[in-house]
């Protein structure tokens, strides 16, 4: 599952993909229509085409380089530490049993319930 969260750790949008699909190609469709100043993502999103596209859009990519890169790219480690908000969002979503165990057979029903659970979490924070 790929998720876009705001600066407070609230769910903005997400998509489901097969487990064997790479992460980086999913970033641009998720960011369609959004203009974030920074994109915080894990190593799975480290790809030169993605970073170049983000730079052309005016978004700073805060993505640590893969360990096997020959020439590691620099990134803002202090800003990357704020990624814990996204990880907390995942753990809060998994508190809903239906999300944690994935009882839904269809992807659309599962994603719909994730959006409902995210709405409940958003309302709890108000």
Mean local confidence (pLDDT), 36-65? 93
Per-residue model confidence as pLDDT tens digits over 56-110: 999 999 999 999 999 988 999 999 999 999 999 999 999 999 889 888 889 999 9
Residue 63's domain comprises 2-125
Exposure pattern of 26-44 as b/e (b: 16+ CB <10 Å)? bbeebbeeeebeebbbeee
Cα–Cα distance measured from residue 27 to residue 8, given in angstroms and rounded to the nearest whole number: 19
Mean local confidence (pLDDT), 2-30? 89
Cα–Cα distance measured from residue 96 to residue 104, given in angstroms and rounded to the nearest whole number: 13
CATH number at residue 7: 3.30.420
Per-residue model confidence as pLDDT tens digits over 100-120: 988 888 999 999 999 999 999
Tally of structural domains, the chain:
1
pTM exceeds 0.85: no
Mean local confidence (pLDDT), 24-34? 90
pLDDT over 80 at 126, yes or no: no
Q: Which residues pair with 102 in a beta bridge?
A: none
Query: What pLDDT band is residue 49 in, cutting at 50, 70 and 90?
Result: very high
């Amino acid at each position: 599952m790929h998720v876009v969260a705001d600066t407070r750790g609230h769910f903005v949008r997400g998509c489901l993909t097969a487990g064997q699909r790479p992460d980086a190609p999913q970033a641009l469709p998720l960011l369609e229509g959004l203009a974030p100043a920074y994109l915080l993502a894990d190593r799975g999103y480290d790809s030169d085409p993605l970073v170049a596209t983000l730079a052309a859009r005016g978004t700073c990519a805060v993505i640590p380089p893969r360990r096997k890169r020959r020439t590691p790219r620099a990134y803002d480690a202090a800003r990357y530490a704020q990624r814990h908000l996204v990880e907390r969002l995942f753990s809060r979503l998994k508190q809903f049993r239906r999300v944690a165990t994935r009882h839904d057979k269809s992807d659309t029903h599962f994603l719909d319930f994730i959006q409902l659970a995210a709405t409940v979490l958003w309302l709890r924070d108000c």
